[in-house]
Amino acid sequence: MNVLVTGGCGFIGANFVHQQRRLYPTDRLVILDALTYCGNLHNLEGLNHDPGLSFVRGDICDADLVAQLFRDERFDAVVHFAAESHVDRSILGPMPFVRTNVIGTTTLLEAARKAQTAKFLHVSTDEVYGTLAPSDPAFTEQTPLSPRSPYAASKAASDHLALAYAHTYGMPVVVTRCSNNYGPYQFPEKLLPLMILSALEDKPLPVYGDGMQVRDWIYVEDHCAGIDAALRIGQPGEVYNFGGRAERPNLDMVHAILELVDKPRSLIRFVADRPGHDRRYAVDCAKAERALGWRARWTLTDGLRETVRWYREHPAWCHSVRSGEYRTFYERNYTMRPDTASEVAQCG
């Protein structure tokens, strides 16, 4: 297949690209990424000489660029990761989330519709469902959407648009929604990498509120396997939930990290909770297991151990991201330009 991967330099997108190159080395992947603060070409380390991989620095809201890519490349499928995704940032400034997640998604859908692309896979989040009480059953694909942050609302809007294109135009759209991911290449503003790197340096670990917000955790490799299954055999117009069946309070996750790096719990600092912080998320992934033959393979214990190992063994990546040096590399080498895909160079 010839596949467009938007946001392929981000955390989940980059892990998906690595997995696809291992599984389908004869496929062609074109990565479209604006390289905002969380997009990092170094996330594609080891792939800079892969002839089946191409990169375009560009904005998914740029209708002319997107239309040209679809005309020139004739994609068989789109896997759409590109999004603004950090809740705290959406609270401080919602407009970039509306622009990228709503307008950008619509721009891609319209280009794919006109090009009659065979499959459009829209990657979303369990946060569109809202929050759960402690005794509530997990979210299913039939749970009404009830987003409670600007980020979640923008993703819910993009989900509705994607499914509307499936219904109105008969487009082969599939939507996936996933619980909290963790693993390699995750930007360190997120909970687990922030805690890992802070603990390794004996710095305070800031925990929101009482730390008892419950999330379902899934290792990123399992999520990417689910996306691949949905891409290959998912049915148009359908939604599939992916989760790790591993609900844990945030504080328990922090305790587990401290134990793995042999640091004391006295490093924990409880800080004021963020506005509107959802208390619990959990997803029922039985539909994906039944319809796609997918299963989460990583236990939470093994996934956390592997994640800590990765951050420990990649100090250069961690330093580059935390210092901002990674941005000077692509500002020097990649400008925003309206040309078609150019070969990835020096991304490792």
For the annotated catalytic residues, the residue numbers are 126-127, 151
- Residue recorded with tokens 């392929």: 8
CA–CA distance, 126 with 282 (Å, rounded to integer): 8
Contact in structure between 138 and 148 (CB atoms under 8 Å): no
In degrees and rounded to multiples of 5, residue 56 shows phi and psi of -130, 125
CA–CA distance, 102 with 322 (Å, rounded to integer): 29
* Contact residues for 314 (Cβ-Cβ < 8 A; gap 6+): 184
CA–CA distance, 305 with 312 (Å, rounded to integer): 11
Contact in structure between 181 and 253 (CB atoms under 8 Å): no
Q: What is the DSSP letter of 186?
A: -
Provide the token pair at 226: 């689910």
Contact in structure between 345 and 48 (CB atoms under 8 Å): yes
Closest CA to 57 of 39, 75, 76, 78: 39
CA-based diameter of the chain, in Å? 57
Q: Which amino acid is at 43?
A: N
CA–CA distance, 335 with 34 (Å, rounded to integer): 10
CA–CA distance, 55 with 63 (Å, rounded to integer): 18
CA–CA distance, 239 with 251 (Å, rounded to integer): 31
